[in-house]
Amino acid sequence: MTKQAKAVALISGGLDSMLAVRVMQEQGIHVEGINFFTGFCVEGHTHAIRKQDQKKQKRNNALWVAEQLGIKLHIIDVIDEYKDVLINPKHGYGANLNPCLDCKTFMVQKALEWVKENDFDFIITGEVVGQRPMSQRKDTMPVVARESGAGGLLLRPLSGKNLPATIPEQEGWIERDKLYDFSGRSRKPQMALAKQFGFDDYAQPAGGCCFLTDESYSKKLVDLWQVQGHKDYEFDDVMLLKVGRHIRPRPNFKLIIGREEGENRFMEGYKKRFPYLYCKSHPGPLVLADGELNQDDIELAARITARFGKGRNAAEVVVHFVTPDGAETPYSVAPLSSDDFPQEWYI
Amino acid sequence: MSKHTLDVTGQLCPIPVIRTQNQAKKLAPGDILEVLCTDPGAINDIPAWCRINGHTVASSETKEDGNLIVITLTIGE
């Protein structure tokens, strides 16, 4: 080895990137982590909006992994830049609205910029050949290296032996023989290596770490784009798609109905952006109304609001409609019955 | 040494951590940064971020209403 090289690792908070870093540390490489926040990341805290999840330990897995590894972690907000990746993915979407190949390419490209700005030498990821159907295939992993501009500066330590030699290997910064040859969807090799390294606590995200792989979330985003008439979004849109029941009873408006106290509290923060409804006569959810509502729409929204509250079986309940400027109007309505509530209204 | 306040109330993690990180970059060693937040996740995340990046948490306090969290940190070298 000719020098102590410096690598930046893409840290998701999962096991693979954790192992990739430790493999490099074992070879004497100075590693720091980088974590990109796209707005769609599945974070424990996003789930923690819901009160029922608050008993679970709240931690940011990327920070936690960095601490276990003894490395610095740089968290970078890429919300705005990520829009183009999601809206115009060159390689298309996966099963839902997940642009995995473009996403990985984008992240490696951003990591390469960081490497140049901070005088580091190369990039590592926890990718494994054949692990994921879109971005981690033998034929697509070179695409990420090429299109990101990283080329031979991108090293995947867990599958390094299955891939062409990279610059860190050619330059003698690391030894190829000490890389791994993991491939396929089995997690057993990673779990065995975790045991060898003494990692007994690590996140095991099911279905990836991104809301865009989620069918329900993707449907809500498609609905948003259809109503807008074009593919675009603001950060608040992204957040609100994560909470509540989304119901579109008519094309011109949608209701977001809090499912429990934590969501209601989170949605309180949007009262100055959206009109909202709540049941005055009985306990019930906070309901945000997104769209232009006429009087008939407001009455229907009030009946739906009543349906999701404790007064759902009452003959009549009082629901208040409140505009963003605070003007409050009471409506006495009958809660909407099951027969009058088509399942197709759920987005 | 100077004292600064960062208000990230209403923001969910990791935004409070990112904003703290970006603010800390502008400060000098020994400066005090008081972070006001409402996401309970910040109670763990901001101290974790401080530990791995060489800053020190002087205090972490949840105010009486149970919502406002004030984390005070000292910027490291």
> Which 3 state secondary structure label does DSSP give A132?
strand
Q: What is the pLDDT of residues A289-338, one digit of tens each?
A: 999 999 999 999 999 999 999 999 999 999 999 999 999 999 999 999 99
Q: Which of B10, B15, B52 shows the shortest C-beta gap to A63?
A: B52
> What is the mean predicted confidence (pLDDT) over B23-41?
94
Percentage of chain A lying above the pLDDT 90 cut: 79
- Domain membership flag for residue A222: no
Residue A247's domain comprises 243-345
pLDDT confidence bin for A260, thresholds 50/70/90: confident
- Domain membership flag for residue A131: yes
- Domain membership flag for residue A234: no
pLDDT at res. A44 = 53
> What is the mean predicted confidence (pLDDT) over A43-61?
62
Is residue B50 part of the annotated active site? The answer reads no
Question: Which is nearest to A345 in space by CA: A294, A318, A307?
Answer: A307
> What is the mean predicted confidence (pLDDT) over A44-59?
58
Number of domains in chain A: 2
Radius of gyration of chain B (CA): 11
Q: Do B53 and A73 touch (CB under 8 A)?
A: yes
Chain A residues closer than 8 Å to B52 by CB: 63, 66-67, 70-73
Q: Do A72 and B53 touch (CB under 8 A)?
A: yes
Q: In this complex, is the C-beta atom of A138 within 8 Å of any C-beta atom belonging to chain B? A: no
How far is the C-alpha of A208 from the C-alpha of A189, rounded, in Å? Answer: 18
Q: How far is A295 from chain B (nearest CA, A)?
A: 32
How far is the C-alpha of A268 from the C-alpha of B10, rounded, in Å? Answer: 10
> What is the mean predicted confidence (pLDDT) over A205-216?
76
Q: Count of A–B CB contacts within 8 Å? A: 66
Q: What average pLDDT is seen over chain A? A: 92
- Domain membership flag for residue A338: yes
pLDDT at res. A114 = 98
Regarding whether A116 and A52 lie in a shared domain, the answer is yes
pLDDT confidence bin for A59, thresholds 50/70/90: confident
Does residue A208 surpass a pLDDT of 70?
A: no
The pTM for the full model equals 0.89
Percentage of chain B lying above the pLDDT 90 cut: 74
Break chain B into its structural domains and give their ranges. 3-74
Higher model confidence: residue A43 or residue A64?
A64
Does residue A204 surpass a pLDDT of 70?
A: no
What's the complex ipTM? 0.91
Regarding whether A33 and A106 lie in a shared domain, the answer is yes
Beta bridge partners of A309: none
Does residue A34 surpass a pLDDT of 90?
A: yes
Regarding whether A249 and A204 lie in a shared domain, the answer is no
SS3 labels along B10-48: CCCCCHHHHHHHHHHHCCCCCCEEEEEECCCCHHHHHHH
Does residue A43 surpass a pLDDT of 70?
A: no
Q: What is the CATH number of domain B3-74?
A: 3.30.110.40
- Domain membership flag for residue A237: no
For the beta carbon of residue A136, count every other beta carbon within 10 angstroms.
24
pLDDT at res. A81 = 96
